[in-house]
Chains A and B, each alone.
Chain A
Amino acid sequence: MSDRGNETSTPVELSPAPQTVSGKRVLGVVPGKPAAGERKVIKPDDSVMVWPHLLVRHAVAAMATMLVVMIIAVLFDAPLRDVANPQVTPNPEKAPWYFAALQELLARFHPLVAGVLVPGAIVLGLIALPFIDSSKFVKPRHRKVAVTTFTTFMVIWIVLTLIGFMFRGPNWGWVWPWDEWHCEL
């Protein structure tokens, strides 16, 4: 470590008798930092080489991801229901889970609001976000307005998604997922 070099000790320690290490005579040992293989502490804002430091971490993350996908794919089969039949409408009719929040909004508000204005505002808001939250601060406690707004919308969105995905049954009525299971993936 860096503070080792500041230690005060005898500058040169002479060996009592000449020693030989791999064919070379050792004349003395100098205390302090080693001249070769020097270690220096890297501060958070200092740069480090991507190879190997970042690439080994990415390799581990990639392998972990593939392992998780393999395990899920071995354990659970993708769903396949009856062949599509335009004459038989299932009840409830469910959109894919990532549109469940929109579908839940559609059940509560005018389609123009839920189907066009809200998703449009979300996309525009997301695009504008870095230009609105443009202070020179990154820590959440220094960006309370941005963090509170984003968190509020995110929580609302997650709750609506869960309601639409798990808590809606026939005729979009309320069901408890442990009573009736209507979740489709």
Chain B
Amino acid sequence: MTLDQNEREDVVEREPDKHVEDDLFERLRQTSVGQSIFRSPRRVTPRDRAAGHWSSFLLHIYPVKIRRKELGFKYSWYLGVISTVLLGSLIASGIYLMFFYVPSPSHAYTNIQTIQTEVPFGQYVRNVHRWSAHLMVLAVAAHMGRVFYRGAYKKPRQFNWVIGVVLLMLTLLMSFTGYLLPWDQLAFWAVTVGTEMAGYVPIIGDQVKEVLLGGPTVDSSTLLRFYVLHVAVLPVMIVFVLMIHLWRWRKDSMLDQDLEDADE
């Protein structure tokens, strides 16, 4: 990656040139209340700021420092952040939709109609949920592609790639289980086709299909199973695995990769 002069200019660290007493937030942090809130209230030298980051709960998913080359759009296209933001959008909109949805064949479809016509912002929230889901599949797949072409999975980051493959599978399962919930023709037959593939597994195929569907065909027990997987089991799994993914990213971010063709 070549960096032009302008790009270099905007990422330069400055030595601290302000005085503590000039800065309102610095003074607030020095009060006894401020000192009780911030575990590391002094933010004057770079070392202070690193300590402040290190002791912040909200920033603990981030490393304190990162390589300069990994900052820009060109490096990652920010696809990891985009995927995570879409997951957040899906959780927020999904919780709202859960208030108005009952997973039974006699209620599901009319509930969706009610969401679209009577629930405040129901149509909009459902749209956000649907399009975020499709975009998340795209973003996660693109994230994988970008990481591959960037060679970002090289030692010591190999295992985080494996965790990423698991996250891609979970994303697909999340999307697929959610696909059934509107209980319209589109949902019913897409899931019928999709679960037929499970029946092709040798020897245990029929059993796998039966466990997935709760019977030989898509019916009310399938809807309940997919609902529970969609709103409880898979979200917990995806958030948990994502936490491990981000934790590994943070832990490995500054480790030496021992590359022979590193940038410049």
Contacts and interface: CB of A to CB of B under 8 A. Distances in A.
B63 interface: yes
A32 interface: no
B131 A85 contact: no
B200 interface: yes
Contacts of A94: 189-190, 193
A65 to B, nearest CB: 5
A141 to B, nearest CB: 9
Nearest to B150: A138
A129 interface: yes
A42 B261 contact: no
Contact of B130 (A42, A78, A84, A90): A78
Contacts of B12: 39-42
Interface string B205-245: 00000000000011100000000000000000000000000
Given A47-B67, A51-B49, A94-B189, A72 B89 contact: no
Interface in A60-105: 61-62, 65-66, 68-70, 72-74, 76-86, 88-90, 93-99, 102-103
Interface string B31-64: 0000000000000001001100100000100111
Contact of A62 (B73, B85, B154, B254): B85
B202 A112 contact: yes
B91 interface: no
Interface string B187-206: 11110111011001110000
Interface size class of chain B, counting residues whose CB lies under 8 Å from the partner chain: 35 or more
Contacts of A98: 137, 172, 175
B89 A57 contact: no
A69 B82 contact: no
Contacts of B98: none
A134 B259 CA distance: 11
Interface in A137-178: 137-140, 142-143, 147, 150, 154
Contacts of B118: none
Q: Which of A69, A102, A123 has the most chain B CB within a 10 Å cutoff?
A: A69
Contacts, number: 247
Interface residues of A, number: 81
15 contacts: A42-B68, A44-B262, A45-B69, A48-B65, A49-B13, A51-B59, A54-B66, A57-B73, A61-B85, A65-B89, A73-B131, A74-B124, A81-B186, A86-B188, A96-B179
Interface of A: 36-51, 53-55, 57-58, 61-62, 65-66, 68-70, 72-74, 76-86, 88-90, 93-99, 102-103, 106, 111-112, 114-116, 119, 123, 126-127, 129-131, 133-134, 136-140, 142-143, 147, 150, 154, 184-185
Interface of B: 1, 3, 8, 11-15, 17, 46, 49-50, 53, 59, 62-69, 71-73, 78, 81-82, 85-86, 89, 105, 109, 112-113, 116, 123-124, 126-132, 134-135, 137, 144-145, 148-155, 157-158, 161-162, 165, 169, 172, 175-176, 179, 182-190, 192-194, 196-197, 200-202, 217-219, 254, 257-264
